Amino acid sequence: MEVLSQNGAKPGLAVIIVEGDSASRIYVNNKKKACAEVGINSEEYALPSDVSEDELLKLIDTLNKRDDIDGILVQLPLPRHIDEEKIIMAIDPKKDVDAFHPVNTGKIMIGNFDFLPCTPAGVMELIHESGIQVQGKDAVVIGRSNIVGKPMAMLLLHESATVTVCHSKTQDLKQKVKNADIVVAAVGRANFVTADMVKDGAVVIDVGINRTEEGLRGDVDFDAVSEVAGAITPVPGGVGPMTIAMLMRNTVTSFKLRDIR
Ligand code: NDP
């Protein structure tokens, strides 16, 4: 086992949740559980849904200044009366373990980064661990959000895939997906990717988490697409746990980079 600190200090992660979103509560509980399992000190700040932007900013400022806090995570989405961008900008980039701050997204763009956003990093980890070659492959990312689609496309590009990013205004999306060797679905619509859209042997990675009457579903019609795909991730159980693992990794990275205890 790696010794992180000679004096026994542990990495510290502060998780801020503004109550109100039931999915967010589940994600935060899972993150806290993972911290306990790997030996990261986690602190939860559960704020009422009417918390003011100023109060949230003050809390972030306090956590930015604390030596024992290496990572600050604000669970998104936030209520409408709070400006998400302003909140993300307030987090010290060195403690931005979600890698949403423009300093970190900029570093990702130039390929010289300390942290990667957890979900795209988790997808790349799955690809690497499965021995899948990325270089020279045609990859399609469906979705262009700042937290999943865009950084995902960038990571695939860094590894020399030829990347197409699809979104709600994309023409002939089906054809574009059909040409892809690697498909990453981050749409937020259950069963969006169907078997007829997928090339034989393609790698299909399902980021989507959709709560349906039948339970949790991804963006991919798993049963049908798994008949065609060469490799596929399930929901639940695929990208979700990897996202949490990458958060743990980023928190340890921050602890090491800050190197102050
Ligand atoms: P967003 O809603 O921010 O983005 C969705 C994207 O999908 C947008 O770019 C949108 O296009 C695109 N889209 C929507 N409808 C269509 C359509 N009919 N055709 C083509 N593109 C479409 O979602 P996120 O990126 O935050 O999340 C995506 C999914 O991943 C969600 O299900 C979310 O729950 C899940 N998720 C899972 C995580 C995990 O750990 N597994 C972590 C984060 C998210 P446009 O930009 O044009 O509107």
Q: pLDDT, tens digit, for every residue of 186-215?
A: 999 999 999 999 999 999 999 999 999 999
Q: In what order do the strands lie in the sheet with 71-74?
A: 41-47, 12-18, 71-74
pLDDT of residue 5: 66
Would you call 163 helix, strand, or coil by DSSP?
strand
Tokens representing 26 are: 């589940």
Residue 83 CA, ligand 1 centroid: distance in Å: 20
Q: Which of 73, 78, 145, 166 to mutate to test the pocket of ligand 1 (most atoms within 8 A of CB)?
A: 145
Q: What is the CATH number of domain 118-239?
A: 3.40.50.720
Reference 209, options 187, 233, 184; nearest CA is 187
Q: Point out the ligand 1 atom lying closest to the alpha carbon of residue 242.
A: 40
Q: How far apart are CA 133 and CA 157, in angstroms?
A: 13
Q: pLDDT, tens digit, for every residue of 3-44?
A: 676 688 999 999 999 999 999 999 999 999 999 999 999 999
**Residues 6 or more apart from 231 whose CB is under 8 A from it?**
130, 132, 203, 204
Tokens representing 192 are: 């969006």
pLDDT of residue 259: 83
pTM of the prediction? 0.96
> Could you say which of 98, 181, 219, 221 is catalytic?
98
Tokens representing 43 are: 């602190």
- Tell me what the mean pLDDT of segment 95-102 comes to: 97
DSSP code per residue over 101-123: SHHHHHHHHHT--S---HHHHHH
Residue 145 CA, ligand 1 centroid: distance in Å: 6
- Annotated active-site residue 31? The verdict is yes
Domain 12-98 matches domain 118-239 at the CATH topology level: yes
In the chain, where the domains are located: 12-98, 118-239
Q: Which of 75, 167, 239 to mutate to test the pocket of ligand 1 (most atoms within 8 A of CB)?
A: 167
Contact 47, 56 (CB under 8 A): yes
Q: Point out the ligand 1 atom lying closest to the alpha carbon of residue 210.
A: 32
CB of 84 sitting under 6 A from ligand 1? no
Q: pLDDT, tens digit, for every residue of 106-126?
A: 999 999 999 999 999 999 999
Q: Which of 187, 210, 219 to mutate to test the pocket of ligand 1 (most atoms within 8 A of CB)?
A: 187
Q: Please report, rounded to a whole number, the percentage of residues in the chain having pLDDT higher than 90.
A: 95
Q: Strand ranges (DSSP E) for 91-224?
A: 138-142, 162-166, 182-185, 203-206, 210-212, 215-217
CB of 239 sitting under 6 A from ligand 1? yes
Mean pLDDT of the chain: 96
What letter does residue 219 receive in the DSSP assignment? S
Q: Please report, rounded to a whole number, the percentage of residues in the chain having pLDDT higher than 70.
A: 98
Tokens representing 90 are: 């307030």
What letter does residue 140 receive in the DSSP assignment? E
Q: What is the CATH number of domain 12-98?
A: 3.40.50.10860
Q: How far apart are CA 53 and CA 43, in angstroms?
A: 20
Confidence of residue 261 (pLDDT cuts 50, 70, 90): confident
Q: pLDDT, tens digit, for every residue of 133-188?
A: 999 999 999 999 999 999 999 999 999 999 999 999 999 999 999 999 999 999 99
